[in-house]
């Protein structure tokens, strides 16, 4: 695993538990915190997360029920979930795993155990290498692309902006982000994005690139035109 951090959503109403999780995952994950579950689905769909840490005993929503809702949502169904709970019985543990949780940790837990389990789950379910197209999220500079939701996230002044992409824009961005610094000719882009059986002109590629750059705001600078060759995506000048 490289030095990049994952993004995790922690849904936990206990302040002490929140602090313990943040301390345990320092250097591993950026943590966004909710103390109620009623906005969980909305938050998961409007921001990009690599992991959900979910307390079962929330004051407003049953964590098991929320886990079920997430697993039944096509947009969120593959999100890794770790359940945190004071319920230590075998029945509850089996229920949580049966409902789709990837791991189940009982309270009180040692910070080292949580950290180790999160790292193990990362190794099993995702890669943080931005040059690998099989990862759920590709990240270069201030640009992040979700393979599952086909949306981009641009960070500017500590604020993340969600960018909706057309199917073609998503395919182009995935292609470029999957091979950092590689120059793709316009003909290669046509073949790999549209298919070689489709009649698309090089000018069409330029138009899509221009629109994509505008949508990505400051992150559009990562998409670079290489004179006489084509396009590449790079975090360097």
CATH code for the domain in which residue 107 is found: 3.40.50.2300
Report yes or no on 10 lying in a domain: yes
152 & 186 share domain: yes
Report yes or no on 24 lying in a domain: yes
Report yes or no on 167 lying in a domain: yes
The domain in which residue 23 lies consists of 6-125
pLDDT at 151: 87
pLDDT at 91: 85
Angle, helices 202-215 vs 167-177, to 10°: value is 90
Answer whether residue 115 shows pLDDT above 60.
yes
Report yes or no on 218 lying in a domain: yes
pLDDT at 3: 42
> The whole model's pTM is what?
0.56
Report yes or no on 1 lying in a domain: no
Quick: pLDDT tens for 180-232: 899 999 999 988 887 754 567 888 889 889 989 999 999 999 999 999 899 99
Report yes or no on 131 lying in a domain: no
53 & 100 share domain: yes
Nearest C-alpha neighbor of 49 from the set 131, 133, 118, 120: 118
224 & 165 share domain: yes
Report yes or no on 203 lying in a domain: yes
Query: CATH number, domain at 216?
Result: 1.10.10.10
pLDDT above 90 coverage of the chain, percent: 47
143 & 212 share domain: yes
């Amino acid at each position: 695993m490289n030095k990049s951090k994952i993004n995790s959503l922690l849904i936990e109403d206990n302040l002490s538990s929140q602090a313990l999780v943040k301390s345990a995952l320092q250097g591993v994950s950026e943590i966004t915190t909710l103390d109620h579950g009623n906005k969980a689905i909305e938050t998961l769909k409007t921001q990009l997360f690599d992991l959900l840490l979910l307390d079962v005993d929330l004051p407003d929503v049953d964590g098991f029920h929320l886990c079920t809702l997430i697993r039944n949502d096509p947009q969120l169904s593959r999100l890794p979930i770790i359940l945190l709970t004071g319920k230590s019985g075998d029945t509850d543990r089996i229920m949580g795993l049966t409902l789709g949780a990837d791991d189940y940790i009982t309270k009180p837990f040692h910070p080292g155990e949580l950290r180790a389990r999160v790292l193990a789950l990362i190794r099993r379910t995702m890669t943080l290498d931005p040059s690998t197209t099989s990862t759920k999220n590709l990240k270069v500079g201030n640009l992040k692309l979700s393979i599952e939701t086909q949306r981009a996230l641009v960070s500017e002044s500590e604020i993340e902006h969600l960018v909706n992409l057309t199917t073609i824009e998503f395919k182009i961005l995935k292609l470029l982000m999957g091979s950092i610094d590689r120059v793709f000719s316009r003909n290669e882009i046509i073949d790999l994005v549209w298919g070689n059986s489709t009649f698309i002109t090089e000018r069409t590629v330029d138009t899509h690139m221009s629109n994509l750059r505008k949508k990505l705001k400051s992150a559009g600078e990562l998409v670079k035109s290489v004179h006489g060759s084509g396009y590449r995506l790079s975090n360097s000048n």
